Structure 1
Amino acid sequence: MTDQDTPVQRPLSPHLQVYRLPLLPLMSITHRVTGVGLAFGTLVLAWWLAALATGPGAYDLFIRFMNPLGGMALLGWMIAIAYHFCNGIRHLIWDTGHALDLGSAERAGYLVLVGWLVLSAVMVGSALLFWLS
């Protein structure tokens, strides 16, 4: 047997599930995903406004289409807006040149998460109070 016939023994990398995704890349991915979701939600909002402007027939069609899951989709859209807003503020702070070192960026990330949870709770709570009253 020659050296070319024997397989090379190289170390194998652990599977992707072994690694823990750091907070900052996870927040970056989530920011992009919520941005795409908000774009689709904006299309639904435009459809709703067009249905309002068109007349009762178009609005009834919109309501029939959105009625089963429309409220849940609206809550999800509100939560996505809250996250995208809070993380967008962090990006604006970064654009000024502040909080760019790793420690400050992680602290800002945790602050974004706290702000997102508080803002989401206020928005969802007020929506539930509105719908239940």
Structure 2
Amino acid sequence: MARNTARPLSPHLTIWKWGPHMVVSILHRATGVALTIGGLILLTWWLLALSGGTEAYATFAGFLGWKAGPVPLIQLGLVALTWAFFQHTLSGIRHLVMDTGAGFELKTNRTMAYATIVGSLLLTALFWALLLGKGA
């Protein structure tokens, strides 16, 4: 099949200038994958630990570092999963607003993208400050 040379080629990533809206769109997909894989593994393990009795739950809590003290790598992973949750949620709200037909103006779109990134970082920091402040 011959290509119609009168038709323009589809633009690709080397042509477009990167902006916050592109980053947020890619992050939305990446955080969705991270939440699906990481969150589902963690949730499944937690539910199995709950149904397995006190010894199984102690193993689960020990892995997370709640009982024996913080394990930096595990807690970093939990913070990252929390950030992914807030980023994905705020990005989903942004997409919901755009689905109504609003927010397509470049300045508004850029502002919403920045608000999504800053909001997710602030919500993650607030969540962990409250969680660690209660002495979890």
Relative to the length of structure 1, the TM-score reads 0.72
Q: Report the counterpart of residue 113 of structure 2 in structure 1.
A: 109
Identity %: 35
Runs (5+) with no aligned partner, structure 2: 1-13, 66-70
> Cα 1:119–1:65, aligned 2, differ >3 Å: closer, same or farther?
closer
Q: Report the counterpart of residue 57 of structure 1 in structure 2.
A: 55
Please give the per-residue CA displacement for 1:36-79, whole angstroms capped at 9, x wherever unaligned: 11112232122111111121333244345443443332222111
Residues 55-94 of structure 1: pairs in structure 2 closer than 5 A: 55-67=53-65, 68=71, 69-94=73-98
Matched length: 115
If you compute each CA radius of gyration, which structure gives the higher value, 1 or 2?
Answer: 1
Given the alignment of the two structures, is residue 95 of structure 1 paired with residue 99 of structure 2, yes or no? Answer: yes
Q: Report the counterpart of residue 119 of structure 1 in structure 2.
A: 123
Relative to the length of structure 2, the TM-score reads 0.70
> Cα 1:48–1:70, aligned 2, differ >3 Å: closer, same or farther?
farther
- Please give the root-mean-square deviation of Cα atoms over the aligned residues, in Å: 2.3
Of Structure 1 and Structure 2, which has the larger fraction of its residues in helix? 1
Aligned amino acid, residue 102 of structure 1: L
* Regions of 4+ moved over 4 Å: none
Runs (5+) with no aligned partner, structure 1: 1-15
CA positional deviation for 1:127: 1.9
